[in-house]
Amino acid sequence: MIKRMMTMNRGDFKILDQKIYGRPLVYLDNAATTQKPQVVIDTLKAYYETINSNIHRGVHYLSQRATDEFEAAREAVRRFINARHAYEIVFTRGATDSMNLVAASFGRTFLHEGDEIVVSKMEHHANIVPWQFLCEDRGCVLKVLPFNEKGELCIEQLDQLITPKTKIVAVTQVSNSLGTVNPVKAIIEIAHKKGVPVLLDGAQAVSHCKVDVQALDCEFYCFSGHKMYAPMGIGVMYGKEEWLNKMKPYQGGGEMIKQVTFAKTTYNDLPFKFEAGTPSVGDAMGLKAAIEYMESIGIENIAAYEKELLDYAEKRLSSIEGLRIYGQAAQKAAIVSFNIDKIHPSDIGAIIDKLGVAVRTGHHCTQPIMDHFGIPGTVRASFAIYNDKKEIDDLYEAVYRAKNMLL
């Protein structure tokens, strides 16, 4: 049943129907960005062909139409992650932008010399570097929660890591390098017992599992549209109303103000206080279309299907002698990172590319993970709803051939 539904979906992604170096494209770089279904492409086209206009400030028809569509997209995101209020949804350029927003704004408001920020060792650089800026500028201290050899966070150490000086815990829900699905509910409970707010990086989670920010009870939740079938250039920063109200704005400019004089400027209400300048209206509409697309398939169906692909891929790849999979957590999303003994990951990537198989190689913006394992990088295959087992067979064959050529 699930299988049939997924096979039908492949037709929604014309880009997949092409040959690369004379071979059918096998696109397995979905953790970097997913392809976009036709409905998302059509939505973008329709926006620019029919209602393109700047929003909020216009009295004319097109501006009002564009404003209504932009706010409808906000409502769709609210529903998708089950936020209490639409004004807790702030549109950004992506997860990186969202986390920079929280770090800068939270930092300006609450952080002082000696305050501590807890992140994990498996964070994407986008959830490390913005906090390091604060450490440099404000004299804060970054503390790091480690992970074990399976790639699972040592959450038994979290309680001790959080001290009276800890101001925020910022962790990823799903690791983009290891595929680990972290026990974020438990992490939030531990932090909350000590009165510490939690930011979740949901960049790799939103396309793979149902997210309910009220049930999770996180203070901030950040993600990108382009990893969940939506256009590039749009992302979301969810924040609980009480925190957003207290936080100083991130960027200054149009839209985020109530009144500007040279003596004093007052700020707009939520969410506009955090949305300076012209937003990406068409992309927000594309995000809404992508959400509706995923909802029409059912997030649970997507998760179950991707689990099937993950299990199959791990089984096939691990039958290759000398191949090691990094990230063996009990709970994993559809990401397999691996290396073959004595072979550089980028050599494998380059050869299998010529066989039509697109994967990512390198450190995946998680250098601390690579340092932990003492490796320069990995080969990463990541799956989405339109992939199938035949493509995993193609990956297996290509990797097998690359190994034989390189050793």
| Residues forming the site for ligand PMP (CB under 6 A) | 94-96, 124, 126, 172, 176, 201, 203-204, 224, 226, 365
Kindly name the residue from 140, 209, 218, 365 that is annotated as catalytic. 365
CA distances for 140 relative to 118, 165, 244, 250, angstroms:
11, 10, 21, 19
What residues form DSSP beta bridges with 143?
Answer: 118
The C-alpha atoms of residue 99 and residue 216 are separated, in whole angstroms, by: 18
The C-alpha atoms of residue 342 and residue 346 are separated, in whole angstroms, by: 12
- 101, 274 in Cβ contact below 8 A? yes
Instruction: Please give the structure tokens belonging to residue 334.
Output: 């559809």
Length of the chain: 407
Q: Which is nearer to ligand PMP, 115 or 275 (CB)?
A: 275
Quote the least distance from Cβ 201 to ligand PMP, whole Å: 5
Instruction: Please give the structure tokens belonging to residue 313.
Output: 């891929």
- 69, 131 in Cβ contact below 8 A? no
Which residue's structure tokens are 């050899």? 149
- Helix (H) / strand (E) containing 76: helix 61-81
Q: Which is nearer to ligand PMP, 96 or 337 (CB)?
A: 96
Quote the least distance from Cβ 94 to ligand PMP, whole Å: 3
Q: Which is nearer to ligand PMP, 120 or 268 (CB)?
A: 120
Q: Which is nearer to ligand PMP, 126 or 184 (CB)?
A: 126
- 157, 145 in Cβ contact below 8 A? yes
Q: Which is nearer to ligand PMP, 236 or 402 (CB)?
A: 236
- For residue 365, indicate whether it is catalytic: yes
Which residue's structure tokens are 């910022």? 170
Q: Which is nearer to ligand PMP, 40 or 203 (CB)?
A: 203
Question: What's at 12, amino acid-wise?
Answer: D
- 276, 64 in Cβ contact below 8 A? no
Which residue's structure tokens are 């890591």? 161
User: Which residues participate in catalysis according to the annotation?
Assistant: 365
